[in-house]
Structure 1
Amino acid sequence: MKKLAVAAVMCSLLSSYAVASENNTALNKYKGFYVGGGVGTTDFHDKVSSEMSKEHGIGISTKSDTAYKVITGYQFNRIVSIEAQYTSYGDTKYNIVSEGDTGKFKVKQQSYSIAANVGYTFDNGLRPFATAGLGQMFIKSGSFKKDGGLYRLGAGVEYQIKQVPGLGMRVAYEADFYTLEDKYNNKDYDQSVGSWYVGTTYKF
């Protein structure tokens, strides 16, 4: 009888350990550091050139470049991640026509940001999400350089590929909002630059 009792206790303990291990494994697959990258199209809303065009009758056309992202973050559970990004929006090329004269220049924008990534990871691997955070914008055009704070908003959907544990794909739109000061005319312009992008991540 004692042997049967000991065996029963051992089976119970082993069963409890197996269930706990399985639950921990299930939870741990939603946790961990991840890195990745993305590529997409730049979407720049330049109120400075828009207002100048209206006020002075200047013809201004722009052509945006490709956007690139470097991503790193930590996922705490099914819902919350903290994510840092470097984004290069490439060169926005300007073509100016004024009373027969033409001119060209380009503006380069890049940003660093840290944001909360909030969504829900379903059992099938899909995870719709939204991002919100803060960062720093850097602008360069010839010898002109400017930097300042920004806030970031975005939304998208990820898919964790079951056949390759840790590998994920995402499609999203994210935009950086910042204010550009015009000290000569004593004006502030609310600018935004964003990107539709496709990216991949790998969770360790």
Structure 2
Amino acid sequence: MKKVVLLAALVALPTFAAQKVDGFYIGAGIGDTSYADDGFGKSVTNGATSTETDGASFKLIGGYQFNKIAAIEAQYTKYGTANTKLSNTKALTMDSESLIVAANLGYTFDNGLRPYGVIGAGIVSWDVRNAGSTAYLNNKSSNTFAVRAGLGLEYAPAMFDGWAVRAGYEVDAFAADVEDSLTKKTTEHTLGMGSFYIGSTYKF
């Protein structure tokens, strides 16, 4: 009888290990860069503009997972350069980085899969410069309050021994004002810097 009980306990061990999801974690990620300017370029140049991005986004991740559902996560993101084009010529460039604290809410299944969403807030540091010979604006740098939202999927089976891989999309939304030099009228725009990325974390 004792042997049967011991065997049952050993069989149950992998399941028990898979259920231990709490702990601190750190990681990193890399992805593309997306940019939505909400008419910011048009307000600055007084012309019809388009946007494009150059370069990857890089992320540093740290957090604490409380249970199968909830975690709190801090993330630093360095975005690629966002370009505003007027008549197929670069008019403005913007470099940005963010520091965000967010709730990471999802559900960890027994097989290690965890779909999740993130919602949080923090600071975006951005720098806009003239890209061509025309001075559309005085080069501007700002630290602005930002809101983050995103969705992702993580995979951390017990056999990974604390390691996890994830893929997700996250976007930081923040406000930028443009003042017309003639009318002195200020127009507010909501800019969005985002990234579809893959990453890996290690849980202690």
TM-score using structure 2 length: 0.79
Q: Which residue of 1 aligns with 2:82?
A: 92
Whether 1:203 aligns to 2:199 is no
- Higher-Rg structure is 1
Q: Which residue of 2 aligns with 1:119?
A: 106
Within 5 A, what are the aligned runs for 1:10-159? 26=17, 29-49=20-40, 51-52=42-43, 56-97=46-87, 102-142=89-129, 143-159=139-155
Distance 2:41 2:93 in 1: 15
Distance 1:188 1:77 in 2: 40
Distance 2:144 2:82 in 1: 19
- The answer to whether the 8 Å contact 2:35/2:52 transfers is no
2:68 aligned partner, one-letter code: R
Distance 1:158 1:58 in 2: 40
Distance 1:47 1:73 in 2: 32
Distance 1:103 1:74 in 2: 42
Q: Which residue of 2 aligns with 1:169?
A: 165
1:78 to partner: Cα distance: 0.7
Q: Which structure's residues are more often helix, by fraction?
A: 1
Number of paired residues? 185
- The answer to whether the 8 Å contact 2:163/2:201 transfers is yes
SS of equivalent residue, structure 2 residue 39: helix
- The answer to whether the 8 Å contact 1:49/1:60 transfers is no
2:178 aligned partner, one-letter code: D
1:200 to partner: Cα distance: 0.4
- The answer to whether the 8 Å contact 1:173/1:194 transfers is yes
- The answer to whether the 8 Å contact 2:18/2:157 transfers is no
1:161 to partner: Cα distance: 3.7
Cα 1:84/1:30, change in 2 over 3 Å: same
Distance 1:194 1:129 in 2: 17
Identity of aligned residues (%): 35
Question: Which is bigger in relative contact order (C-alpha 8 A, separation at least 6)?
Answer: 2
Unaligned runs of 5+ in 2: 130-138
Unaligned runs of 5+ in 1: 1-10
1:66 to partner: Cα distance: 1.0
SS of equivalent residue, structure 1 residue 122: coil
Cα 1:61/1:160, change in 2 over 3 Å: closer
Distance 2:163 2:90 in 1: 46
- The answer to whether the 8 Å contact 2:49/2:84 transfers is no
Distance 2:47 2:92 in 1: 18
Cα 1:70/1:64, change in 2 over 3 Å: same
1:49 to partner: Cα distance: 4.0
SS of equivalent residue, structure 1 residue 163: helix
